[in-house]
Structure 1
Amino acid sequence: MTRIVITGLWICAITVLSSYAVISWIPALPKPKAEEYLEGLTYQKLRPLNIPIIADGNVQGYILATIIFTADSHLIKGLGVTPEPFVMDESFRQIYSDGDLDFRNLKKYDINRRLDEIKRRVNERLGSEIVKDVMVENFNFITKKDIRS
């Protein structure tokens, strides 16, 4: 019985040593290339904006807008600052100060011009063409009387 146990231990020792010898004698195999992360555009969805609409000295209601923007992910990594606050700030400023938005006298609104202006101003503030596109996911107006308190 002891001979069988000793023979089994001997076989295990020979197997471990031969495996170690083969691994250490193999020339350095070329390491598999780390697949480069596809760096391109990254989509970032901002939290919803609540923008008051003021007319005749009173708050008429609020615009609820959800903005999405695409940005060059490689430039974002090297920037050190995320463009999210800049896009939110510029979106708020553009919509809040827009004199064409009059919900008492509805007419077609040129949202593309406004989005292009947001993109241009954010890139201007960041000093580089980081933001590639600005999109709207949601754009609603809620009158003051429809707001639940």
Structure 2
Amino acid sequence: MLKLVFTGVWVCAVTLGSVYFSIQHASAPVESDAEADRRALQQYVPGELITVPVITDGAVQGYFLTKLSFAVDKNKIKHLDVPLKETVTNALFDILVGKKLINVADSTSFDLAQFKTAVKDGLNKDMRDEVIFDVLVEQLEYLSKADVARIAKGASQPQQQPVAIVDKNGETAHDEIPEAERRAAAAAQ
């Protein structure tokens, strides 16, 4: 019985010692100077819900419901000629309506990472500067024209939920602004 108690104490001591020394010798992730400078300049801007129509054969077939947030250069964002909301709306119309980056009939060809890159590059091109560091897609859904008509008729029909756009890798839009940045943005407003 005494051997069993000593064995248990020995195992606990060895485990605690190994955990203690592994924590002592663990190093923090190394961040380059460029990355540290970028983080110091970075600010998260929460997005607003934007509705973009899907136009096919000269008629509206449905609507994309999109909510994008951005990691931006806080110094450059202050000096924009056109406010960010209007620039984003313009870029989304260009990407979703003009370039037809999302094919509603075949969403298996959609790539969320490519969409984020296209939005970021399009916005930076429109602003003629590297203002946007990252695009967070919080919501990207599709509502057909029939769904909109059904919702407009009221409570007589069951309410339809927007359909989340799923990319070719099975990913959906679910990015979120870090909580500390969300609180800071709410306090600033």
Query: What range is the shorter-chain TM-score in?
Result: 0.5 to 0.7
SS in 1 for 2:108: coil
Mapped to 1, the partners of 2:60 and 2:105 lie a distance apart of 12
Give matches, 1:14-93, under 5 Å: 39-77=40-78, 79-81=79-81, 82-93=83-94
Mapped to 1, the partners of 2:91 and 2:73 lie a distance apart of 19
Give matches, 1:89-128, under 5 Å: 89-128=90-129
Structure number with the bigger relative contact order (C-alpha 8 A, sep ≥ 6) is 1
**Structure 1: which 5+ residue stretches go unaligned?**
1-37
Contact 1:64 1:139 in 2 (8 A): yes
Deviations 1:40-74 (A, max 9, x none): 31111222111111223332211101011110112
TM-score (norm 2): 0.51
Task: Report the CA distance between 1:80 and its aligned residue.
Answer: 4.8
Mapped to 1, the partners of 2:111 and 2:48 lie a distance apart of 23
More strand, by proportion: 1
125 and 56 in structure 1: CA distance in 2 versus 1, 3 angstrom threshold? closer
- Whichever of the two has the greater Rg, that structure is 1
Task: Report the CA distance between 1:141 and its aligned residue.
Answer: 0.5
Deviations 1:91-138 (A, max 9, x none): 221111233533233424112222212212222222221111112100
133 and 60 in structure 1: CA distance in 2 versus 1, 3 angstrom threshold? same
Sequence identity (%): 23
More helix, by proportion: 2
SS in 2 for 1:61: strand
- State the number of aligned residues: 111
Contact 1:43 1:71 in 2 (8 A): yes
Mapped to 2, the partners of 1:85 and 1:39 lie a distance apart of 26
**Structure 2: which 5+ residue stretches go unaligned?**
1-38, 153-189
Aligned to 1:132: 133
Mapped to 1, the partners of 2:61 and 2:134 lie a distance apart of 30
TM-score (norm 1): 0.63
